[in-house]
Chain A
Amino acid sequence: MRLSSGTRHKSSLLAFTLVELLVVIAIIGVLVALLLPAVQAARESARRAQCVNKLKQLSLSVMIHEGTHGFLPSGGWGWNWVGDPDRGFGLSQPGGWTYAILPYLEQETIWSLGSGITDRAAKRQALSRMNELQPSAFICPTRRGSQPTGVKTHWSPRNCNFVESSGKSDYAICIGDAFDADDFSGPNSARVAEGPRFRWPDVERYNGVCNMRSEIRLAQILDGTSNTYLIGDKYLRPESYDGVGSIGSPTYDTGDNETLFTGFNRDFQRSSRYAPLQDRPGPVLPYSFGSAHPGSFNMSMCDGSVRGIGYDIDLETHRLLGVRDDGAVAGDSGQ
Protein backbone atom coordinates (compact mmCIF):
# COMPACT_ATOMS: atom_id res chain seq x y z
CA MET A 1 0.00 0.00 0.00
CA ARG A 2 2.66 2.46 0.90
CA LEU A 3 4.54 1.75 -2.24
CA SER A 4 1.56 2.29 -4.48
CA SER A 5 0.52 5.50 -2.79
CA GLY A 6 4.08 6.73 -3.05
CA THR A 7 4.08 6.07 -6.81
CA ARG A 8 0.85 7.94 -7.27
CA HIS A 9 2.21 10.89 -5.38
CA LYS A 10 5.29 10.99 -7.55
CA SER A 11 3.38 10.79 -10.83
CA SER A 12 1.11 13.66 -9.81
CA LEU A 13 4.19 15.82 -9.39
CA LEU A 14 5.31 15.10 -12.94
CA ALA A 15 2.07 15.73 -14.88
CA PHE A 16 -1.33 17.42 -14.79
CA THR A 17 -4.32 15.25 -14.29
CA LEU A 18 -7.15 15.58 -16.77
CA VAL A 19 -9.24 17.28 -14.12
CA GLU A 20 -6.63 19.94 -13.49
CA LEU A 21 -6.40 20.60 -17.20
CA LEU A 22 -10.16 20.91 -17.49
CA VAL A 23 -10.27 23.37 -14.61
CA VAL A 24 -7.60 25.53 -16.22
CA ILE A 25 -9.41 25.49 -19.56
CA ALA A 26 -12.64 26.40 -17.82
CA ILE A 27 -10.98 29.35 -16.09
CA ILE A 28 -9.49 30.58 -19.36
CA GLY A 29 -12.91 30.14 -20.95
CA VAL A 30 -14.55 32.31 -18.31
CA LEU A 31 -11.91 35.03 -18.72
CA VAL A 32 -12.30 35.06 -22.52
CA ALA A 33 -16.05 35.13 -22.16
CA LEU A 34 -15.78 38.15 -19.91
CA LEU A 35 -13.39 39.91 -22.24
CA LEU A 36 -14.94 39.13 -25.61
CA PRO A 37 -18.04 41.36 -25.39
CA ALA A 38 -15.84 44.26 -24.27
CA VAL A 39 -13.50 43.78 -27.24
CA GLN A 40 -16.43 43.51 -29.65
CA ALA A 41 -18.00 46.65 -28.20
CA ALA A 42 -14.73 48.58 -28.58
CA ARG A 43 -14.44 47.44 -32.21
CA GLU A 44 -18.03 48.44 -32.93
CA SER A 45 -17.60 51.83 -31.31
CA ALA A 46 -14.54 52.45 -33.50
CA ARG A 47 -16.55 51.51 -36.58
CA ARG A 48 -19.38 53.77 -35.49
CA ALA A 49 -16.97 56.69 -35.11
CA GLN A 50 -15.74 55.96 -38.63
CA CYS A 51 -19.34 55.89 -39.89
CA VAL A 52 -20.12 59.23 -38.23
CA ASN A 53 -17.03 60.67 -39.86
CA LYS A 54 -18.15 59.46 -43.29
CA LEU A 55 -21.57 61.03 -42.82
CA LYS A 56 -19.85 64.25 -41.82
CA GLN A 57 -17.74 64.17 -45.00
CA LEU A 58 -20.80 63.52 -47.16
CA SER A 59 -22.80 66.34 -45.59
CA LEU A 60 -19.84 68.74 -45.91
CA SER A 61 -19.66 67.85 -49.61
CA VAL A 62 -23.36 68.64 -49.90
CA MET A 63 -22.71 72.02 -48.26
CA ILE A 64 -19.85 72.82 -50.65
CA HIS A 65 -22.12 71.81 -53.54
CA GLU A 66 -24.71 74.23 -52.18
CA GLY A 67 -22.10 76.97 -51.83
CA THR A 68 -20.92 76.44 -55.40
CA HIS A 69 -24.25 76.07 -57.20
CA GLY A 70 -26.72 77.75 -54.86
CA PHE A 71 -28.81 74.60 -54.32
CA LEU A 72 -28.56 71.17 -52.67
CA PRO A 73 -27.60 68.22 -54.92
CA SER A 74 -30.33 67.14 -57.31
CA GLY A 75 -31.89 63.68 -57.12
CA GLY A 76 -31.39 62.92 -60.80
CA TRP A 77 -33.72 61.28 -63.33
CA GLY A 78 -34.43 57.71 -62.24
CA TRP A 79 -32.79 54.33 -61.67
CA ASN A 80 -32.24 53.61 -65.35
CA TRP A 81 -29.95 56.64 -65.70
CA VAL A 82 -26.44 57.16 -64.38
CA GLY A 83 -24.42 60.33 -63.82
CA ASP A 84 -22.92 62.06 -66.86
CA PRO A 85 -20.11 64.64 -66.43
CA ASP A 86 -21.23 66.50 -69.58
CA ARG A 87 -24.66 67.30 -68.13
CA GLY A 88 -23.61 69.61 -65.34
CA PHE A 89 -25.48 70.03 -62.06
CA GLY A 90 -29.13 70.40 -61.17
CA LEU A 91 -32.13 69.29 -63.21
CA SER A 92 -30.17 68.58 -66.39
CA GLN A 93 -28.07 65.95 -64.57
CA PRO A 94 -29.42 62.36 -64.77
CA GLY A 95 -27.22 61.06 -61.91
CA GLY A 96 -28.33 61.36 -58.28
CA TRP A 97 -26.92 63.20 -55.25
CA THR A 98 -24.22 60.54 -54.85
CA TYR A 99 -22.86 61.59 -58.22
CA ALA A 100 -23.34 65.34 -57.86
CA ILE A 101 -21.22 65.62 -54.69
CA LEU A 102 -18.21 63.69 -56.07
CA PRO A 103 -16.19 66.77 -57.09
CA TYR A 104 -16.65 68.14 -53.55
CA LEU A 105 -15.62 64.82 -52.00
CA GLU A 106 -12.20 64.98 -53.69
CA GLN A 107 -13.36 62.33 -56.18
CA GLU A 108 -13.34 64.46 -59.29
CA THR A 109 -11.39 61.77 -61.16
CA ILE A 110 -14.39 59.45 -60.83
CA TRP A 111 -16.88 62.23 -61.54
CA SER A 112 -15.17 63.18 -64.82
CA LEU A 113 -14.84 59.65 -66.25
CA GLY A 114 -16.23 59.78 -69.79
CA SER A 115 -16.14 63.57 -69.91
CA GLY A 116 -16.10 65.04 -73.41
CA ILE A 117 -16.36 61.71 -75.26
CA THR A 118 -18.54 62.19 -78.32
CA ASP A 119 -18.63 58.58 -79.55
CA ARG A 120 -21.83 57.12 -78.05
CA ALA A 121 -20.56 53.56 -77.50
CA ALA A 122 -17.27 54.74 -75.97
CA LYS A 123 -19.15 57.09 -73.67
CA ARG A 124 -21.51 54.33 -72.49
CA GLN A 125 -18.50 52.18 -71.76
CA ALA A 126 -16.75 54.93 -69.81
CA LEU A 127 -19.85 55.56 -67.71
CA SER A 128 -20.16 51.81 -67.01
CA ARG A 129 -16.57 51.81 -65.80
CA MET A 130 -17.38 54.69 -63.49
CA ASN A 131 -20.29 52.72 -61.99
CA GLU A 132 -18.11 49.71 -61.33
CA LEU A 133 -16.13 51.71 -58.77
CA GLN A 134 -16.86 51.75 -55.05
CA PRO A 135 -15.59 54.89 -53.27
CA SER A 136 -15.26 53.92 -49.59
CA ALA A 137 -16.90 57.21 -48.57
CA PHE A 138 -20.31 55.62 -49.17
CA ILE A 139 -19.80 52.41 -47.18
CA CYS A 140 -20.54 51.94 -43.47
CA PRO A 141 -17.72 49.85 -41.95
CA THR A 142 -20.09 48.10 -39.54
CA ARG A 143 -22.15 46.83 -42.46
CA ARG A 144 -19.69 45.67 -45.11
CA GLY A 145 -16.31 46.02 -46.71
CA SER A 146 -15.77 48.64 -49.37
CA GLN A 147 -15.89 46.65 -52.61
CA PRO A 148 -18.29 46.53 -55.57
CA THR A 149 -21.27 44.18 -55.10
CA GLY A 150 -23.83 42.58 -57.43
CA VAL A 151 -26.42 44.63 -59.32
CA LYS A 152 -29.85 43.18 -60.24
CA THR A 153 -29.48 40.96 -63.30
CA HIS A 154 -32.30 42.67 -65.23
CA TRP A 155 -31.03 46.24 -64.88
CA SER A 156 -31.29 48.05 -68.23
CA PRO A 157 -29.62 51.45 -67.97
CA ARG A 158 -30.29 54.05 -70.70
CA ASN A 159 -26.96 55.85 -70.83
CA CYS A 160 -24.39 53.19 -69.96
CA ASN A 161 -23.89 49.45 -70.39
CA PHE A 162 -25.03 46.80 -67.92
CA VAL A 163 -22.53 46.14 -65.14
CA GLU A 164 -22.48 42.98 -63.05
CA SER A 165 -21.26 44.55 -59.86
CA SER A 166 -21.01 48.16 -58.83
CA GLY A 167 -20.51 50.62 -56.05
CA LYS A 168 -23.35 50.98 -53.54
CA SER A 169 -24.30 53.48 -50.87
CA ASP A 170 -25.06 52.68 -47.23
CA TYR A 171 -26.17 56.28 -46.81
CA ALA A 172 -29.46 57.74 -48.00
CA ILE A 173 -30.64 61.32 -48.41
CA CYS A 174 -34.01 62.19 -46.89
CA ILE A 175 -36.77 62.82 -49.45
CA GLY A 176 -39.23 63.94 -46.74
CA ASP A 177 -42.17 62.07 -45.23
CA ALA A 178 -43.65 60.74 -48.51
CA PHE A 179 -45.23 57.28 -48.47
CA ASP A 180 -42.75 56.17 -51.15
CA ALA A 181 -39.08 56.92 -51.74
CA ASP A 182 -38.99 56.69 -55.54
CA ASP A 183 -41.41 56.20 -58.34
CA PHE A 184 -39.90 56.52 -61.78
CA SER A 185 -37.18 54.66 -63.67
CA GLY A 186 -36.56 57.70 -65.87
CA PRO A 187 -37.32 58.80 -69.43
CA ASN A 188 -36.50 56.56 -72.42
CA SER A 189 -33.94 58.95 -73.88
CA ALA A 190 -32.44 62.37 -73.24
CA ARG A 191 -34.03 63.62 -76.47
CA VAL A 192 -37.48 62.55 -75.26
CA ALA A 193 -36.81 64.00 -71.80
CA GLU A 194 -35.83 67.37 -73.20
CA GLY A 195 -38.60 67.47 -75.76
CA PRO A 196 -41.37 70.01 -75.25
CA ARG A 197 -44.09 67.40 -74.78
CA PHE A 198 -42.40 65.27 -72.11
CA ARG A 199 -44.09 65.44 -68.72
CA TRP A 200 -42.08 64.46 -65.67
CA PRO A 201 -44.01 62.74 -62.87
CA ASP A 202 -45.40 64.88 -60.07
CA VAL A 203 -42.94 65.24 -57.17
CA GLU A 204 -45.03 67.56 -55.00
CA ARG A 205 -45.22 65.02 -52.14
CA TYR A 206 -41.45 64.90 -51.60
CA ASN A 207 -40.94 67.54 -48.92
CA GLY A 208 -37.36 66.70 -47.89
CA VAL A 209 -34.07 68.08 -49.13
CA CYS A 210 -33.75 66.14 -52.40
CA ASN A 211 -35.96 64.52 -55.03
CA MET A 212 -36.19 63.95 -58.76
CA ARG A 213 -34.50 66.86 -60.61
CA SER A 214 -34.73 68.98 -57.45
CA GLU A 215 -32.78 72.19 -56.94
CA ILE A 216 -33.63 72.95 -53.32
CA ARG A 217 -32.07 76.07 -51.80
CA LEU A 218 -31.16 76.37 -48.12
CA ALA A 219 -33.76 79.14 -47.85
CA GLN A 220 -36.43 76.51 -48.57
CA ILE A 221 -35.53 74.63 -45.39
CA LEU A 222 -38.04 76.58 -43.32
CA ASP A 223 -37.76 74.40 -40.20
CA GLY A 224 -34.11 75.35 -39.76
CA THR A 225 -31.09 73.49 -41.02
CA SER A 226 -30.32 71.99 -37.61
CA ASN A 227 -33.85 70.50 -37.38
CA THR A 228 -33.99 68.83 -40.76
CA TYR A 229 -32.48 65.50 -41.82
CA LEU A 230 -29.96 65.59 -44.64
CA ILE A 231 -28.28 62.19 -45.08
CA GLY A 232 -28.36 59.12 -42.83
CA ASP A 233 -27.84 55.39 -42.51
CA LYS A 234 -30.23 53.30 -44.60
CA TYR A 235 -31.82 49.97 -43.69
CA LEU A 236 -30.68 46.87 -45.59
CA ARG A 237 -31.23 43.20 -44.78
CA PRO A 238 -27.93 41.36 -44.12
CA GLU A 239 -28.67 38.72 -46.79
CA SER A 240 -28.12 41.44 -49.42
CA TYR A 241 -24.86 42.96 -48.14
CA ASP A 242 -22.73 41.14 -50.73
CA GLY A 243 -24.94 41.82 -53.74
CA VAL A 244 -28.60 41.35 -54.63
CA GLY A 245 -28.50 38.68 -57.35
CA SER A 246 -31.48 38.02 -59.58
CA ILE A 247 -35.09 38.88 -58.86
CA GLY A 248 -36.72 36.46 -56.38
CA SER A 249 -33.38 35.15 -55.10
CA PRO A 250 -32.75 34.89 -51.33
CA THR A 251 -30.43 37.91 -51.53
CA TYR A 252 -32.68 40.19 -53.57
CA ASP A 253 -33.54 43.58 -52.09
CA THR A 254 -35.00 46.48 -54.09
CA GLY A 255 -33.26 48.91 -51.73
CA ASP A 256 -29.74 48.13 -52.99
CA ASN A 257 -30.20 46.76 -56.49
CA GLU A 258 -28.77 49.37 -58.87
CA THR A 259 -25.47 51.21 -59.09
CA LEU A 260 -24.13 54.00 -56.89
CA PHE A 261 -24.42 56.77 -59.47
CA THR A 262 -27.95 56.23 -60.78
CA GLY A 263 -30.59 58.94 -60.52
CA PHE A 264 -33.72 59.16 -58.36
CA ASN A 265 -33.67 55.83 -56.53
CA ARG A 266 -34.50 54.25 -53.16
CA ASP A 267 -31.01 52.74 -53.06
CA PHE A 268 -29.86 56.05 -51.57
CA GLN A 269 -33.08 57.94 -50.83
CA ARG A 270 -35.31 57.12 -47.88
CA SER A 271 -38.47 58.52 -46.31
CA SER A 272 -38.86 59.60 -42.68
CA ARG A 273 -42.46 58.33 -42.81
CA TYR A 274 -41.17 54.86 -41.96
CA ALA A 275 -39.81 53.69 -38.61
CA PRO A 276 -36.04 53.16 -38.57
CA LEU A 277 -34.82 49.60 -37.94
CA GLN A 278 -31.56 47.80 -37.20
CA ASP A 279 -30.54 45.44 -40.04
CA ARG A 280 -31.86 41.91 -39.49
CA PRO A 281 -32.66 38.82 -41.54
CA GLY A 282 -36.20 38.80 -42.94
CA PRO A 283 -37.57 42.30 -43.50
CA VAL A 284 -37.18 43.98 -46.91
CA LEU A 285 -37.92 47.65 -46.17
CA PRO A 286 -36.66 49.74 -49.09
CA TYR A 287 -38.13 53.05 -47.87
CA SER A 288 -36.72 52.98 -44.31
CA PHE A 289 -33.72 54.48 -42.60
CA GLY A 290 -31.78 52.22 -40.23
CA SER A 291 -28.30 50.72 -39.98
CA ALA A 292 -26.19 47.78 -38.90
CA HIS A 293 -25.29 49.57 -35.65
CA PRO A 294 -26.90 48.34 -32.43
CA GLY A 295 -29.01 50.79 -30.44
CA SER A 296 -28.96 53.80 -32.72
CA PHE A 297 -28.38 54.90 -36.29
CA ASN A 298 -26.66 58.09 -37.50
CA MET A 299 -28.27 61.01 -39.28
CA SER A 300 -26.66 64.22 -40.47
CA MET A 301 -28.65 67.43 -40.31
CA CYS A 302 -28.70 70.16 -42.94
CA ASP A 303 -26.28 72.23 -40.83
CA GLY A 304 -23.67 69.50 -41.27
CA SER A 305 -23.92 68.08 -37.74
CA VAL A 306 -24.25 64.32 -37.23
CA ARG A 307 -26.47 62.82 -34.53
CA GLY A 308 -26.95 59.32 -33.20
CA ILE A 309 -30.67 58.59 -33.12
CA GLY A 310 -32.18 55.70 -31.17
CA TYR A 311 -34.31 53.15 -33.03
CA ASP A 312 -36.99 53.81 -30.43
CA ILE A 313 -37.32 57.47 -31.50
CA ASP A 314 -40.90 58.73 -31.42
CA LEU A 315 -42.19 58.07 -34.95
CA GLU A 316 -43.87 61.46 -35.24
CA THR A 317 -40.61 63.21 -34.27
CA HIS A 318 -38.71 61.11 -36.82
CA ARG A 319 -41.25 61.98 -39.52
CA LEU A 320 -41.15 65.73 -38.76
CA LEU A 321 -37.34 65.83 -38.73
CA GLY A 322 -37.46 64.61 -42.33
CA VAL A 323 -39.76 67.39 -43.54
CA ARG A 324 -38.12 70.70 -44.37
CA ASP A 325 -41.21 72.92 -44.19
CA ASP A 326 -43.81 71.46 -41.80
CA GLY A 327 -43.55 74.39 -39.35
CA ALA A 328 -43.80 72.02 -36.39
CA VAL A 329 -41.23 71.88 -33.60
CA ALA A 330 -39.66 68.45 -33.48
CA GLY A 331 -38.40 67.40 -30.06
CA ASP A 332 -34.78 66.40 -29.73
CA SER A 333 -34.98 62.65 -29.38
CA GLY A 334 -31.37 62.12 -30.26
CA GLN A 335 -28.81 60.94 -27.78
Chain B
Amino acid sequence: MKKHQAIRRLTQGCVGPLLVFLIGCSGGPTAVEVPPIQPGEAARGALSKYDANGDGQLSTEELAACPGILNAMGRYDKDDDQQISEQELSQRFAMWVDGGVGVTTLACQVTFNRKPLTGAQIQLIPESYLADAIEPAIGTTDSSGSTILAIDTAHLPDDMQNLRGVVHQGVFRVEITHPEIKIPEKYNSQTTLGMEVSADTGKNMVRWELTE
Protein backbone atom coordinates (compact mmCIF):
# COMPACT_ATOMS: atom_id res chain seq x y z
CA MET B 1 0.00 0.00 0.00
CA LYS B 2 2.82 2.39 0.82
CA LYS B 3 4.30 1.85 -2.62
CA HIS B 4 0.91 2.55 -4.24
CA GLN B 5 0.51 5.77 -2.34
CA ALA B 6 3.99 6.89 -3.22
CA ILE B 7 3.44 6.25 -6.92
CA ARG B 8 0.03 7.87 -6.86
CA ARG B 9 1.46 10.89 -5.15
CA LEU B 10 4.23 10.93 -7.76
CA THR B 11 1.82 10.79 -10.70
CA GLN B 12 -0.44 13.41 -9.14
CA GLY B 13 2.62 15.52 -8.47
CA CYS B 14 3.60 15.27 -12.15
CA VAL B 15 0.19 15.77 -13.72
CA GLY B 16 -0.61 18.97 -11.81
CA PRO B 17 2.42 21.00 -12.90
CA LEU B 18 2.14 19.47 -16.37
CA LEU B 19 -1.38 20.84 -16.76
CA VAL B 20 -0.25 24.24 -15.51
CA PHE B 21 2.64 24.13 -18.01
CA LEU B 22 0.33 23.21 -20.90
CA ILE B 23 -2.23 25.90 -20.06
CA GLY B 24 0.58 28.40 -19.64
CA CYS B 25 1.94 27.57 -23.11
CA SER B 26 -1.38 27.78 -24.94
CA GLY B 27 -2.69 30.97 -23.32
CA GLY B 28 -1.56 33.69 -25.82
CA PRO B 29 -1.08 37.35 -24.91
CA THR B 30 -2.40 38.85 -21.68
CA ALA B 31 -5.92 40.25 -21.77
CA VAL B 32 -6.64 43.76 -20.52
CA GLU B 33 -9.12 43.75 -17.65
CA VAL B 34 -12.28 45.80 -17.92
CA PRO B 35 -12.28 48.53 -15.24
CA PRO B 36 -14.42 47.40 -12.25
CA ILE B 37 -17.18 50.01 -12.65
CA GLN B 38 -20.22 49.34 -10.41
CA PRO B 39 -23.00 50.69 -12.67
CA GLY B 40 -25.69 51.06 -9.99
CA GLU B 41 -23.39 52.63 -7.44
CA ALA B 42 -21.82 54.99 -10.00
CA ALA B 43 -25.29 56.09 -11.20
CA ARG B 44 -26.37 56.84 -7.62
CA GLY B 45 -23.10 58.71 -7.11
CA ALA B 46 -23.70 60.85 -10.21
CA LEU B 47 -27.25 61.66 -9.12
CA SER B 48 -26.32 62.59 -5.59
CA LYS B 49 -23.61 64.89 -6.91
CA TYR B 50 -25.45 66.66 -9.73
CA ASP B 51 -29.18 66.39 -8.95
CA ALA B 52 -29.46 69.86 -7.43
CA ASN B 53 -33.28 69.94 -7.17
CA GLY B 54 -33.54 66.35 -5.91
CA ASP B 55 -36.13 65.14 -8.47
CA GLY B 56 -34.15 62.00 -9.28
CA GLN B 57 -33.41 63.24 -12.81
CA LEU B 58 -30.51 65.16 -14.30
CA SER B 59 -31.65 68.05 -16.49
CA THR B 60 -29.47 69.87 -19.01
CA GLU B 61 -29.18 72.78 -16.51
CA GLU B 62 -27.93 70.46 -13.78
CA LEU B 63 -25.56 68.75 -16.22
CA ALA B 64 -23.84 72.05 -16.99
CA ALA B 65 -21.74 71.06 -13.97
CA CYS B 66 -20.93 67.70 -15.60
CA PRO B 67 -19.97 68.55 -19.20
CA GLY B 68 -18.85 64.98 -19.92
CA ILE B 69 -22.39 63.65 -19.76
CA LEU B 70 -23.95 66.84 -21.17
CA ASN B 71 -21.84 66.56 -24.35
CA ALA B 72 -22.99 62.95 -24.78
CA MET B 73 -26.63 63.60 -23.78
CA GLY B 74 -28.12 61.74 -26.74
CA ARG B 75 -26.33 58.53 -25.84
CA TYR B 76 -27.80 58.53 -22.31
CA ASP B 77 -31.26 59.96 -22.88
CA LYS B 78 -32.83 56.85 -24.41
CA ASP B 79 -36.46 57.97 -23.85
CA ASP B 80 -35.67 61.40 -25.32
CA ASP B 81 -37.24 63.43 -22.48
CA GLN B 82 -34.23 65.77 -22.09
CA GLN B 83 -33.71 64.31 -18.61
CA ILE B 84 -31.37 61.55 -17.55
CA SER B 85 -32.67 59.12 -14.95
CA GLU B 86 -30.70 56.88 -12.62
CA GLN B 87 -31.67 53.93 -14.79
CA GLU B 88 -30.40 55.62 -17.98
CA LEU B 89 -27.11 56.38 -16.25
CA SER B 90 -26.60 52.86 -14.96
CA GLN B 91 -27.56 51.37 -18.35
CA ARG B 92 -24.84 53.38 -20.05
CA PHE B 93 -22.27 52.52 -17.36
CA ALA B 94 -23.24 48.84 -17.52
CA MET B 95 -22.63 48.89 -21.30
CA TRP B 96 -18.97 49.71 -20.59
CA VAL B 97 -18.68 46.70 -18.32
CA ASP B 98 -20.66 44.31 -20.57
CA GLY B 99 -18.91 45.52 -23.76
CA GLY B 100 -15.67 44.00 -22.50
CA VAL B 101 -13.54 46.96 -23.58
CA GLY B 102 -10.47 47.16 -21.35
CA VAL B 103 -8.84 50.17 -22.97
CA THR B 104 -9.24 52.18 -26.16
CA THR B 105 -7.51 54.90 -28.18
CA LEU B 106 -8.03 58.63 -27.70
CA ALA B 107 -6.09 61.37 -29.46
CA CYS B 108 -6.80 65.08 -29.29
CA GLN B 109 -5.93 68.30 -31.02
CA VAL B 110 -5.93 71.63 -29.19
CA THR B 111 -6.07 75.04 -30.80
CA PHE B 112 -5.80 78.33 -28.89
CA ASN B 113 -7.20 81.37 -30.68
CA ARG B 114 -7.39 79.23 -33.82
CA LYS B 115 -3.71 78.25 -33.82
CA PRO B 116 -2.42 74.79 -32.86
CA LEU B 117 -1.24 74.91 -29.23
CA THR B 118 2.17 73.27 -28.78
CA GLY B 119 3.33 72.02 -25.38
CA ALA B 120 -0.12 72.14 -23.77
CA GLN B 121 -0.68 69.66 -20.95
CA ILE B 122 -3.99 67.82 -21.17
CA GLN B 123 -5.46 65.98 -18.21
CA LEU B 124 -8.45 63.69 -18.37
CA ILE B 125 -9.78 63.45 -14.82
CA PRO B 126 -12.38 60.76 -14.06
CA GLU B 127 -15.65 62.08 -12.63
CA SER B 128 -15.70 61.41 -8.87
CA TYR B 129 -18.37 58.68 -9.10
CA LEU B 130 -16.11 56.62 -11.42
CA ALA B 131 -12.78 57.56 -9.87
CA ASP B 132 -12.45 54.28 -7.95
CA ALA B 133 -12.61 52.23 -11.14
CA ILE B 134 -10.95 54.19 -13.96
CA GLU B 135 -7.63 55.96 -14.27
CA PRO B 136 -6.80 59.55 -15.24
CA ALA B 137 -5.01 60.08 -18.56
CA ILE B 138 -2.51 62.72 -19.62
CA GLY B 139 -0.77 64.02 -22.73
CA THR B 140 1.42 66.90 -23.96
CA THR B 141 0.69 68.33 -27.39
CA ASP B 142 3.25 68.34 -30.21
CA SER B 143 3.85 71.00 -32.88
CA SER B 144 0.52 70.21 -34.56
CA GLY B 145 -1.28 70.72 -31.23
CA SER B 146 -2.03 67.00 -31.09
CA THR B 147 -1.28 64.22 -28.65
CA ILE B 148 -2.32 60.69 -27.74
CA LEU B 149 -3.80 60.55 -24.24
CA ALA B 150 -2.47 57.85 -21.97
CA ILE B 151 -3.06 56.23 -18.61
CA ASP B 152 -0.04 55.17 -16.57
CA THR B 153 1.35 51.96 -18.12
CA ALA B 154 1.58 50.51 -14.58
CA HIS B 155 -2.10 49.63 -15.11
CA LEU B 156 -1.33 47.55 -18.22
CA PRO B 157 0.02 43.98 -18.54
CA ASP B 158 3.79 43.53 -18.75
CA ASP B 159 3.76 42.73 -22.46
CA MET B 160 1.96 46.01 -23.23
CA GLN B 161 4.47 48.43 -21.72
CA ASN B 162 5.50 49.49 -25.25
CA LEU B 163 1.95 50.65 -25.91
CA ARG B 164 1.97 54.14 -24.28
CA GLY B 165 -1.29 55.72 -25.20
CA VAL B 166 -4.50 53.98 -24.21
CA VAL B 167 -7.34 55.23 -22.04
CA HIS B 168 -10.21 53.76 -20.04
CA GLN B 169 -13.82 54.30 -21.03
CA GLY B 170 -15.74 56.67 -18.78
CA VAL B 171 -16.80 60.25 -18.10
CA PHE B 172 -14.01 62.74 -17.64
CA ARG B 173 -13.48 66.42 -17.03
CA VAL B 174 -10.69 67.91 -19.08
CA GLU B 175 -8.11 70.40 -17.86
CA ILE B 176 -5.68 72.10 -20.25
CA THR B 177 -2.70 74.03 -18.95
CA HIS B 178 0.47 75.38 -20.52
CA PRO B 179 3.84 75.96 -18.82
CA GLU B 180 4.31 79.35 -20.53
CA ILE B 181 1.05 80.57 -22.00
CA LYS B 182 -1.79 81.58 -19.67
CA ILE B 183 -4.80 79.46 -20.52
CA PRO B 184 -8.14 80.85 -19.24
CA GLU B 185 -9.51 79.25 -16.05
CA LYS B 186 -12.55 77.92 -17.86
CA TYR B 187 -10.24 75.33 -19.41
CA ASN B 188 -8.43 74.23 -16.24
CA SER B 189 -9.11 75.13 -12.60
CA GLN B 190 -12.75 76.10 -13.38
CA THR B 191 -13.04 73.79 -16.35
CA THR B 192 -16.09 73.64 -18.57
CA LEU B 193 -14.51 70.98 -20.78
CA GLY B 194 -15.61 67.41 -20.37
CA MET B 195 -16.02 64.32 -22.45
CA GLU B 196 -17.23 60.79 -22.47
CA VAL B 197 -14.75 58.21 -23.76
CA SER B 198 -16.58 55.23 -25.20
CA ALA B 199 -15.24 52.85 -27.83
CA ASP B 200 -18.69 52.25 -29.33
CA THR B 201 -18.96 55.84 -30.65
CA GLY B 202 -15.90 55.47 -32.89
CA LYS B 203 -14.80 58.96 -31.82
CA ASN B 204 -11.14 58.29 -31.07
CA MET B 205 -10.04 61.81 -32.02
CA VAL B 206 -11.36 64.93 -30.30
CA ARG B 207 -10.69 68.59 -31.07
CA TRP B 208 -10.77 71.37 -28.48
CA GLU B 209 -10.85 74.92 -29.77
CA LEU B 210 -9.85 77.23 -26.94
CA THR B 211 -10.37 80.98 -27.08
CA GLU B 212 -9.29 83.75 -24.78
Contact = CB atoms under 8 A, between A and B. Distances in A.
B148 interface: yes
Interface in A14-71: 19, 22-23, 25-26, 29-30, 33, 36-37, 40
Contact of A183 (B8, B105, B163, B205): B205
Contacts of B165: 274-275
B135 to A, nearest CB: 14
A327 interface: no
Nearest to A312: B162
Given A248-B99, A281-B32, A315-B162, A286 B105 contact: yes
A19 B8 contact: yes
A156 interface: no
Contact of B32 (A30, A179, A180, A280): A280
Contacts of A275: 162-165
A274 B205 CA distance: 13
B7 A281 contact: no
Main secondary structure of the interface of B (DSSP, over half): mixed
Contacts of B100: 239, 250, 281-282
A4 interface: no
Contact of B14 (A26, A180, A280, A315): A26
A26 B147 CA distance: 56
B37 interface: no
A15 to B, nearest CB: 16
B28 interface: yes
A277 interface: yes
A205 interface: yes
B181 interface: no
Contacts of B164: 275, 315
B29 interface: yes
Contacts of A250: 98-100
B202 A33 contact: no
B202 A286 contact: yes
A279 B29 contact: yes
Contact of B99 (A29, A37, A252): A252
Given A179-B148, A205-B144, A283 B166 contact: yes
Interface string A168-191: 000000000001100100000000
A110 B70 CA distance: 46
A288 B148 CA distance: 12
A250 B108 CA distance: 26
Interface string B79-123: 000000000000000010011111111011100000000000000
A312 B28 CA distance: 16
Interface residues of B, number: 47
Interface in B20-59: 21-22, 25-26, 28-34
B72 interface: no
B140 interface: no
A237 to B, nearest CB: 8
A274 B99 contact: no
Given A23-B11, A283-B166, A294 B99 contact: no
A81 interface: no
Contacts of A315: 162, 164
A183 B205 CA distance: 9
A254 B148 CA distance: 18
Contacts of B159: 278
Nearest to A292: B28
A275 B100 CA distance: 21
Contact of B148 (A247, A273, A280, A312): A273
Contacts of A294: 28-29
Given A22-B11, A26-B11, A287 B101 contact: no
Contact of A282 (B34, B109, B205): B34
Contacts of A287: 105, 107, 204
Contacts of B64: none
A44 to B, nearest CB: 11
Given A26-B15, A179-B107, A19 B28 contact: no
B26 A283 contact: no
Interface string B149-165: 00000000001101111
Contact of A278 (B4, B29, B99): B29
Interface in A195-239: 205, 239
A30 B15 CA distance: 8
Contacts of A252: 99, 199-200
Q: Which of A247, A249, A279 has the most CB of B within 10 A?
A: A247
19 contacts: A29-B18, A33-B18, A33-B22, A36-B22, A40-B26, A179-B107, A180-B107, A180-B204, A183-B205, A248-B98, A248-B99, A250-B100, A275-B164, A280-B30, A281-B32, A282-B34, A282-B100, A282-B101, A294-B29
Interface of A: 19, 22-23, 25-26, 29-30, 33, 36-37, 40, 179-180, 183, 205, 239, 247-250, 252-254, 273-275, 277-288, 294, 311-312, 315
